[in-house]
């Protein structure tokens, strides 16, 4: 067993983990942060995206011990301090960027990373950035629209597909 300590959503957390414990399991089972989803176990779907030291990572491909000392942000950390939805989360709701919701946490976390890098991405840039996130329900159009709206862009002219 290995001791790990990290800051998760602004709070210091510690735990004992086996060397093979994945970050997604540490967050879900060890910390009760079940918003980070396990979709494929092969880092293909992006449902488990979290930020580690400000960078988006697929938590199913990172060992918890690798995040020792890191600052981790999960979907739960994207809400406003009062618990209301954050800007990106609200845009997903307002623009129907989700259906079943399973992929949504990873999409929101990826969108946050994109907007940090590129505050006003084009539709093509958003689609390219989300290549590592799979949604089986929406067809991506409203997800792209939500991300554009979260960036402050006018989406009224974005045509429906």
Give me the pLDDT at residue 3, please. 97
pLDDT tens, residue by residue, 29-51:
999 999 999 998 788 999 999 99
Q: Above 70 in pLDDT, residue 161?
A: no
Give me the pLDDT at residue 159, please. 60
Question: Residues 64-72: what's their mean pLDDT?
Answer: 98
What's the mean pLDDT when you consider all of the chain?
95
Give me the pLDDT at residue 160, please. 60
Please check whether residue 10 is in contact with residue 21, taking contact to mean a CB–CB distance below 8 angstroms.
Answer: no
Give me the pLDDT at residue 139, please. 79
- DSSP output for the chain: -EEEEEEETTEEEEEEE-TT-BHHHIIIIIH--TTS--S-SSS-S-TTEEEETTEEEEGGGSBGGGGTT-EEE-GGGGS-TTSSPPHHHHHHHHTT--SS-SSHHHHHHHHHHHHHH-SS--HHHHHHHGGG---SSS-SHHHHHHHHHHTT---TTPPP-
Question: Residues 65-72: what's their mean pLDDT?
Answer: 98
């Amino acid at each position: 067993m290995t001791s790990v300590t990290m800051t998760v959503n602004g709070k210091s957390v510690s735990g004992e983990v086996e060397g093979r414990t994945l970050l997604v399991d540490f967050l879900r089972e060890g910390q009760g942060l079940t918003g980070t989803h396990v979709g494929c176990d092969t880092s293909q779907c992006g449902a488990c995206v979290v930020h580690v030291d400000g960078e988006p990572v697929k938590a199913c491909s990172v060992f918890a011990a690798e995040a020792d000392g890191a600052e981790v942000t999960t979907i739960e950390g994207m809400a406003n301090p009062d618990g209301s939805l954050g800007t990106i989360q609200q845009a997903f709701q307002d623009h129907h960027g989700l259906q079943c919701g399973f992929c949504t946490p990873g999409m929101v976390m990826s969108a946050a990373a994109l907007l940090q890098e590129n505050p006003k991405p084009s539709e093509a840039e958003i689609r390219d950035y989300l290549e590592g996130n799979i949604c089986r329900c929406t067809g991506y159009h409203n997800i792209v629209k939500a991300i554009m709206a979260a960036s402050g862009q006018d989406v009224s002219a974005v045509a429906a597909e």
